[in-house]
Amino acid sequence: MGLNAIQSTARTLSYYTRLQAVTANNLANSDTEGFKADLMAARQVGDTTWPVPVMRTDLSQGNLTHTGRPLDVALDGPGFLVVQTENGERLTRGGALALDVANRLTDRHGNALLGENGPIAIPVRYATLEIQADGEVVVDGTKVDRLRLETVRDTSTLLKEGAGRFVADQERVPVDSGTMTLRQGEIEDSNQDTLRGTVDLVTIQRAYAANVDSLKALDSVLGTVVNEVGKVG
């Protein structure tokens, strides 16, 4: 019984260690545009007495903040932009765009933003650049391309790669017309609430400390029992 209790408490500590790391990472990205928080829950498996972690990504939309910057674009509604990385195409909601040395639209990490005709090149000299609600990119009144706006039928299958990017392991489909609007001059904030995350982190740290105390107490009791058994022997 004592050994089972120690094993259960030790595994619970492992769970809280991982939960603390996940929560701390969410908090660290509370100011990262388009960031989607990781959620970790516990479930019991079979007759085990310790929590088994279950991970998923919170894909809910963050607040939209006005920046007035022409190269900022927020996705209002479900869906993703498509970028070309060295490892292939990826989905992202990070809309703080830039122009690279070839004057192509990129994400903030330098990955080319993809339109219907591939990477989107902007003329070196231009007066106005519009990214319209449907993704059409218009420079000085002339359409240059249209952003690819895509999703997957089951977003729970998306794999989080980091840097705000997702890998789709199933067929991607165009975003349904009317379900999402692009808003130029705005960015989507992280969907991690700073206050809630801070409170959660404190709660997790307290739970971890309580389990450490329990483990020490169990270890002490087990040590006493072993010593007493040794004396009897």
Q: What is the pLDDT along the chain (233 residues), one digit of tens a residue?
A: 455 666 777 788 888 899 999 999 999 999 999 999 999 987 776 666 567 788 999 999 999 999 999 999 999 999 999 999 999 999 999 999 999 999 999 999 999 999 999 999 999 999 999 999 999 999 999 999 999 999 999 999 999 998 999 999 889 999 988 899 999 999 999 999 999 989 999 998 888 788 777 777 655 555 554 444 445 45
Q: What is the pLDDT of residue 73?
A: 98
Q: What is the pLDDT of residue 222?
A: 55
Q: Are residues 213 and 135 in the same domain?
A: no
Beta carbons of 167 and 59 less than 8 angstroms apart: no
Q: Are residues 69 and 166 in the same domain?
A: yes
What is the domain-level CATH number for residue 50?
1.10.287
Q: Are residues 176 and 68 in the same domain?
A: yes
Q: Are residues 184 and 196 in the same domain?
A: no
Q: Are residues 108 and 218 in the same domain?
A: no
**End-to-end C-alpha distance for the chain, whole angstroms:** 21
Q: Are residues 149 and 99 in the same domain?
A: yes
Find the domain containing 37 and state its range: 2-56+192-232
Q: Are residues 84 and 24 in the same domain?
A: no
Residue given tokens 């919170």 in the structure block:
58
Alpha helices in 52-162 (DSSP H): none
Q: Are residues 198 and 182 in the same domain?
A: no
Q: Are residues 151 and 83 in the same domain?
A: yes
Rg of the chain in Å (alpha carbons): 25
Count of Cβ atoms closer than 10 Å to residue 156 Cβ: 8
Q: Are residues 68 and 182 in the same domain?
A: yes
Beta carbons of 83 and 89 less than 8 angstroms apart: yes
Q: Are residues 131 and 165 in the same domain?
A: yes
Residue given tokens 């029992």 in the structure block:
225
Q: Are residues 225 and 182 in the same domain?
A: no
Domain count along the chain: 2
**pTM (predicted TM-score):** 0.82
Cα dihedral 196/201/207/213 (nearest 10): -150
Q: Which two tokens stand for residue 63?
A: 């607040």
